[in-house]
A and B are shown apart, each in its own frame.
Chain A
Amino acid sequence: MTTEQPASNLIGPHTPVSNHPPEEAGGILLAKSVSEPPSSGEDSAEAAGADGTEDVEGHAKTEAALAELFVAPTSTELRDIGEATFGPPPPEPETVHGPDDRVQITNTAVYPWRAHASLLIVAADNSTWIATAWFIGPHTLATAGHVVFIKNSGVPGRDGWVKSVQVMPGRNGTSLPYGSVTSTSFRSVTGWTSSGDQNYDYGAIVIPTDLGNTVGWFGFGAFSDADILASQGNISGYPGDKPAGTQWYDHRNIASVDSRKIYYDIDTAGGQSGSGVYRIADGHRYGTAVHAYGGATTNSGTRIVLPVFNNYLAWKA
């Protein structure tokens, strides 16, 4: 069952829909601001880096990020000494662009890492999938539309709302520092569920507890092109090409934006659909897009523009 909003709230492809009765689908509110603040939840939190990226041990910052801190000395580009013996390294997956800069996050029990969740999805045909989501409020996680509603799969019985999603915040391999909670309540928009338009590939998972009050949540906002392009894009999630259930982080400059999507060369792999693409401003973390697609040259996410922001604002209430 897909329930749409009452006619007075219809706004085209951003019309919110739910797999639950109308009173749960969420209303559309006019935002008085273009950003929602984050919350670090209980106990301590890691401070963000001053350069708009996370300070993660062992992670090589991009040149742009380093330029925020100091001017690096000029140097010639050197290849790994291993190439002298073994030749050039094998090609990486196309969703990994250039050298694989991802670094594993092992302290996933602290904010912000615990606000990212590993997902185990059971689709309508009982096939199972992995993906990622991120807390935006006490009981709501943002994710990709195709994580909660499968469209045009070509597989009999698979299309439609998924049956359930097991949400595992801050998962680190077999360790679940905040346990897991199963959701059967999802949100998306008609632009995805009816039209299958990738420009509207976004959604949400509503869990039956207020676990977000413990793990914290990210802010999110509709930002200008200039603000997004001037920011470092940060992504942390649960890729399928790494040990099961491990969280990996990367950041890079945003490559380009259009009215519906953000494009970037931040390394990702299958399993990271739904990850937040976020910027750090004044020490606070704000989602700017929902990672959704891997491409040969750039990856992309559904940009949080005003209608997207309004829906997420309503869904987190």
Chain B
Amino acid sequence: MADDPSVIKGAVRDAAGKPVAGARVFFTDGPAPLPDIAALTDAEGHFALSAPVPGTYQLECHSEGSVPAKASVTVPAAGESQIVIELP
């Protein structure tokens, strides 16, 4: 793994803007091979994924009772990117 990764910090919200806990968030594409592990959002709907190299990453989010959502985020080198994923 990269010694100085970037971090994608995010939140998952429902259509009403409320946090979604226990949603599964994971990479589906990126500029490098990525661990095939999925994060679960916390009680406030938050998650943080490590992006090993700078570039554009594709994320997917699934939660029971909701339509899956996809998101794209571009991260800088050794920095932090923020994203909010809304589940319709």
Q: Within residues 113 to 158 of chain A, which ones have a CB less than 8 A from any CB in chain B?
A: 127-131, 144, 146-147, 151-155, 158
Identify 21 residue pairs between A and B in the complex whose beta-carbon atoms are under 8 Å apart, listed by A's number: A94-B58, A127-B42, A130-B24, A146-B37, A152-B3, A152-B4, A155-B48, A196-B1, A196-B3, A240-B62, A241-B26, A241-B62, A243-B64, A270-B60, A273-B35, A292-B35, A293-B36, A294-B33, A296-B29, A296-B30, A299-B36
What 0/1 pattern do residues 14 to 54 of B give for CB contact below 8 A with A?
A: 00000000001111111001111111101000011010100
Binding site for B on A (CB under 8 A): 93-95, 127-131, 144, 146-147, 151-155, 158, 196, 198, 240-244, 268-273, 291-296, 299-300
Asked if residues A152 and B28 are in contact (CB atoms below 8 Å), the reply is no
Q: Roughly how many angstroms separate A153 CA and B6 CA in the complex, as a whole number?
A: 8
Extra inter-chain contacts (11) besides given A94-B58, A144-B37, A271-B38, CB under 8 Å? A152-B1, A152-B5, A240-B25, A241-B60, A270-B25, A270-B27, A270-B38, A291-B36, A292-B36, A293-B35, A294-B27
- Chain B residues near A291 (CB-CB < 8 A): 36
B87 interface contact, C-beta 8 A: no
Q: Roughly how many angstroms separate A93 CA and B36 CA in the complex, as a whole number?
A: 12
Closest 3 CB pairs of A and B: A270-B26, A240-B38, A93-B28
B7 interface contact, C-beta 8 A: yes
Taking a contact as CB atoms closer than 8 A, the residue among A130, A244, A300 that contacts B37 in the complex is A130
Known A240-B24, A244-B24: A146·B40 in contact at CB below 8 Å: no
- Chain B residues near A270 (CB-CB < 8 A): 24-28, 36-38, 60
Asked if residues B40 and A128 are in contact (CB atoms below 8 Å), the reply is yes
B68 interface contact, C-beta 8 A: yes
- Chain B residues near A295 (CB-CB < 8 A): 33-34
Asked if residues A95 and B7 are in contact (CB atoms below 8 Å), the reply is no
Asked if residues B7 and A130 are in contact (CB atoms below 8 Å), the reply is no
Known A154-B50, A300-B33: A269·B3 in contact at CB below 8 Å: no
Taking a contact as CB atoms closer than 8 A, the residue among B35, B40, B47, B58 that contacts A130 in the complex is B40
- Chain B residues near A292 (CB-CB < 8 A): 35-36
Q: Roughly how many angstroms separate A276 CA and B36 CA in the complex, as a whole number?
A: 13
Q: How close is A193's CB to chain B, nearest CB, in angstroms?
A: 11
CB-based nearest B residue for A158: B48
- Chain B residues near A128 (CB-CB < 8 A): 39-40, 42
- Chain A residues near B33 (CB-CB < 8 A): 198, 293-295, 300
- Chain B residues near A95 (CB-CB < 8 A): 28-29, 36
